[in-house]
Amino acid sequence: MTQEPSNDPKLLLGRYELFDEIAVGGMATVHIGRLSGPAGFAKPVAVKRLHRHLAGDPEFVSMFLDEARLAARVRHPNVVATLDVVEYGEEVLLVLDYIEGEALSKLLKAAVRRGERIEPEVVVAIIAGALHGLHAAHEATDERGEPLGIVHRDVSPQNIIVGVDGVPRVLDFGIAKGTGRIQTTRDGQLKGKLRYMAPEQVARGDVDQRADIYAASVVLWETLTGTRLLEGDNEAQLINAVIAGDLRKPSEVVPELAPFDDLVMRGLAPNPDDRFATAYDMAVALEEQVVPARAHAVGNWVRKAAEDSLLTRKRRVAMMEGTPIRSSPLASQGTPSSLRIVTDRTSSSLTDGNVFGDPTSAGTPEAKREPKRRWIWGVALLFAALLLVFGYREYSRSDGARSYRVAASAPVVAPSETAAPSETAVPADAGVAAASASAEPVVSPEQLGKPRPNPVAARPRPTKKKPEPKPKPDVTAKPTKPKDDKAKRCANPIMVGPDGIKRIKPGCE
């Protein structure tokens, strides 16, 4: 039962306004909502609102937040995008991308009412797209790149929405299995729809991604034939039918569907090892069996099959967009600390964690302290800049004075011996005078019209004295023997030999 359209939002919470209900489930109600922002920004969204009587139950709140954490890690065109999660007091909201379309379950019912079967090409486009979305969920990783091991566990026509753009999308990861979940399934507790559960899910509860492949195969079977795969008056009969695994082929209901028998029955194999290894493999096999319809053909079929419901919802959205954007009371009263956005594995305040930058955060205590912090930082930066300026000036002055003292006390170097006679030594007292004279030269009136001489060019350069060449030795002269002075050598003619015997020196006999 749906409510009458209303111009008044049912709830104002931060940037979000909740309007009419569009769907009601056992755990939450889905509203048409509006996400607003500065400069007139507004966008329709779908807001999943946890039932008030369940908001106080930690188990259901954990399931709700787990859905957001897991779904936020799945980024694929065939998966409904999760935009935000807000928890405020007893309100827990899951904000999703608004899709103009209809659930596959309602599209199937509309086709049955008209006595029509959906064209196989359209069926392949819808189921193959959903399988691609499931594969993206199965391969999702956390922020560290570790596999999350997501298993949807509730693949059914109710959780596949087909847009007027012709794109099928998987939604509702509320009972999905994943390594990042806070809430876990209790022993003996079944979660999901029995008609679409795999035998191992019913018998043991231990599932992997192949359980989703089984459920997708049931959806494929029912979408092709237009009838239910399993019949039962109660849950016990359905459980027995699932475990028995005695399933009909599609061609037993519609003979024209014989080409799909092998593919569908492989997906419905009781043993998980006999099924497709991945959802991607099944999607590719399905697309190779029949060429899927183009997106515009699927979109036209959706418009025709759900014409009335789409028109009603379109009017509601138009009515919502025509309503002036109202400011949330949180903007004037300050956002309580309990209002927070929940991301992958952590929760933080809405003002800190909201990737959209909530304009109402200006009323939060944190936002009120922000201008004061900016003022303090501005004064500190100005003070630091002044210190740098004055310090630089003092340094420049001290450095100039030190240079002046060094120049004034520098010794005067006397001219070298080889310098020209015109160069004379400069007295030490003339150093300062020369420096000041060179800084501000005085020019007489007679010299104003004459070019000034270049003092560097006019100064004579010292000349270096060339060394005298050394005389070359006369190579033609014969060497002369030194004269033997016999008289001096023989003045003492006696010498003592090595044997101690005295002898006369040779040549002195």
467, 461 contact by CB (below 8 A): no
C-alpha dist (Å) from residue 502 to 87, 89, 490, 493, 505: 133, 137, 15, 10, 9
- Of the given ranges (352-356, 362-366, 381-385), which has the lowest mean pLDDT? 352-356
**Which residue type does 136 have?**
A
- Active-site option among 154, 172, 212, 358: 154
Give the CB-side neighbour count of residue 420, counting CA atoms within 13 A: 7
**What are 295-329's pLDDT values in tens digits?**
999 999 999 999 999 999 999 999 999 888 876 55
- Our CA dihedral for 417, 422, 427, 428, rounded to 10 degrees, sits at -60
Give the pLDDT confidence score for residue 438 in this predicted structure. 43
pLDDT-derived band at 412, boundaries 50, 70, 90:
very low
The C-alpha atoms of residue 309 and residue 443 are separated, in whole angstroms, by: 101
CATH number of the domain at 7-98+327-364, please? 3.30.200.20
What are the start-end ranges of the E strands in 240-375? 340-342, 347-349
**Taking 70 as the threshold, does the pLDDT of residue 497 lie above it?**
yes
CA 68 – CA 85 distance, rounded (Å): 7
- Please calculate the CA angle 250-251-256 and round it to the nearest 5 degrees: 115
Give the three-state DSSP class for 481: coil
- Assess whether pLDDT exceeds 80 at residue 447: no
Which ranges in 306-335 belong to alpha helices (H)?
307-321, 329-333
Counting beta carbons within 10 angstroms of the beta carbon of residue 157, is it exposed (0 to 12), middle (13 to 18) or buried (19 or more)?
buried
Crossing angle for the helix pair 104-113 and 295-305, to the nearest 10 degrees? 60
**Residue 499: active-site member:** no
Higher pLDDT, residue 496 or 388: 388
- Among 52-56, 237-241, 418-422, 500-504, which stretch is predicted with the lowest mean pLDDT? 418-422
Residue 137 and residue 74 in contact, taking contact as beta carbons nearer than 8 Å: yes
Instruction: For residue 288, give both structure tokens.
Output: 């190779």
Give the number of C-alpha atoms closer than 13 A to the C-alpha of residue 61, restricted to the C-beta side. 15
Which residue from 114, 134, 96, 287 is spatially nearest to 210, judged by alpha carbons?
134
pTM of the model: 0.63
Between 291 and 411, residue with greater pLDDT:
291
**Mean of per-residue pLDDT scores for the chain:** 76
CATH of the domain spanning 101-307, picked from 3.30.450.40, 1.10.10.10, 1.10.510.10, 3.40.47.10:
1.10.510.10
Q: Where does the pLDDT of residue 385 fall: very low under 50, low under 70, confident under 90, or very high at 90 and above?
A: confident
Whether residue 484 is predicted with pLDDT greater than 70 in this model: the reply is no
Q: Residue 417 and residue 112: Cα distance in Å, rounded?
A: 123
Rg (CA), the chain: 50
Closest CA to 156 of 178, 182, 175, 142: 175
Lowest mean pLDDT among 27-36, 87-96, 166-175, 326-335: 326-335
Give me the mean pLDDT over the 240-259 stretch: 90
The sheet carrying 91-97 orders its strands as 11-13, 16-24, 28-36, 42-50, 91-97, 82-88, 340-342, 347-349
Looking at residue 219, its pLDDT comes to: 97
Whether the predicted pLDDT of 88 surpasses 50? yes
Q: Using CA atoms, how far apart are residues 239 and 475, in angstroms rounded to an integer? A: 130
User: Residue 69: its pLDDT value, please?
Assistant: 83
Backbone angles phi, psi at 379, to 5 degrees: -65, -40
Q: What's the confidence (pLDDT) of residue 358?
A: 38
pLDDT at 174 over 90: no
CA angle 188–190–194, rounded 5-degree value: 140
- C-alpha span between 10 and 390 (Å, rounded): 62
CA distance 317 to 193: 31
Residues 90 and 500: their CA atoms lie apart, in Å, by 135
Tell me the average pLDDT across 194-212.
Answer: 88
Higher pLDDT, 7 or 160: 160
- DSSP secondary structure letter of residue 450: S
Number of H helices, E strands in the chain: 17, 13
**Sign of torsion, CA 57 58 60 65?**
positive
Residue boundaries of the structural domains of the chain: 7-98+327-364, 101-307
- CA–CA distance, 360 with 327 (Å, rounded to integer): 8
pLDDT beyond 60 at 57 = yes
